[in-house]
Amino acid sequence: SAVISQKPSRDICQRGTSLTIQCQVDSQVTMMFWYRQQPGQSLTLIATANQGSEATYESGFVIDKFPISRPNLTFSTLTVSNMSPEDSSIYLCSVGMGLQPQHFGDGTRLSIL
Amino acid sequence: GNSVTQMEGPVTLSEEAFLTINCTYTATGYPSLFWYVQYPGEGLQLLLKATKADDKGSNKGFEATYRKETTSFHLEKGSVQVSDSAVYFCALSDSAGNMLTFGGGTRLMVKP
């Protein structure tokens, strides 16, 4: 299965600032996804990162708040913009290839003061 | 739309006890079903999967059978260990394999 590296692994940020999270895969993958896991909660899909085009966002998530890039088949970034304490979560990148199960990175643990 | 319902935790067991975590789903078409595990401070790892009715997924002593008639995919293990303490997520993917829908997660705590 693909090896997924996420950076940073954790960060503590000031409210009003923005943070960009990187997801690097060791092989080309068809699908890349970004999820949010709020404290003690399950995972919620933020968006599907599309290579060469705008990301597809789920209900409740907007591009201005969570801009996503995917310049190639092995790399994507998620930016959490204008952060508030409510954005404190684990953000996870996952990858998928057709009908194969999605595999996840170790996540980025984000705390906003 | 698709949905997954898991039994609420935490589930607390003694070492070597039998484990069942219930999972039921609602989906259109023919979804694939998964169990993921999240150990403390880590990301999600795929534990096992089943892609069609009556398939049994198994890994590390855990098993789950895809039951279409009861729309269930219950996770079982005959003898749990302290190292199995984690949060377990049941999930399904749509027929195209793109969208993952997760259950709420069940925290398992195994005491020595």
pLDDT recorded at residue A16: 97
Positive or negative: CA dihedral B107, B26, A98, B61: positive
Select from A94, A101, A104 the Cβ nearest to the Cβ of B49. A101
Q: Which residues of chain B have pLDDT under 70?
A: 95-98
Strand partners, B24: B5, B72
In the predicted model, what is the mean pLDDT of residues A26-40?
92
Beta pairing, strands B106-111 & B11-14:
parallel
Cα–Cα distance for residue pair B70/A18, rounded to 1 Å: 46
pLDDT of residue A60: 95
Q: What are phi and psi of A67, to 5 degrees?
A: -65, 140
Q: Is A57 exposed, middle or buried (0-12, 13-18, 19+ CB in 10 A)?
A: middle
Per DSSP, B28 falls in state S
B68 by DSSP, 3-state: which?
A: coil
Region A2-27 average pLDDT: 96
Cβ proximity of A96 and B97 under 8 Å = yes
Q: Does B12 touch chain A (CB under 8 A)?
A: no
Q: Which residue has the tokens 């090896």?
A: A3
For B89, which of A42, A94, A99 is closest by C-beta distance? A42
CB-based contact B103 A43, cutoff 8 Å: no
Contact predicate B67/B73, CB 8 Å: yes
Per-residue pLDDT of A74-104, as tens digits, reads 999 999 999 999 999 999 999 987 767 889 9
Cβ proximity of A111 and A11 under 8 Å: yes
Per-residue pLDDT at A33: 94
Does the beta-carbon distance from B98 to A48 stay under 8 Å? Answer: yes
In this complex, the residue of A1, A45, A105 whose CB is nearest that of residue B43 is A105
Q: Which secondary structure element, helix H or strand E, spans residue A25, and what is its range?
A: strand A19-25
- C-alpha B86: how far from its chain's center? 12
Mean pLDDT of A23-40: 93
Tokens of residue A4, six digits: 């997924």
Cβ neighbours, 10 Å, residue B22? 16
Distance between CA B92 and CA A99 in Å, rounded?
Answer: 12
Contacts with B51 from chain A: Cβ below 8 Å: 99
- Interface contact A102-B93, CB threshold 8 A: yes
B59 touches chain A (CB under 8 A): no
- Whether residue A99 lies within 8 A of chain B, CB to CB, comes out as yes
pLDDT for A40: 87
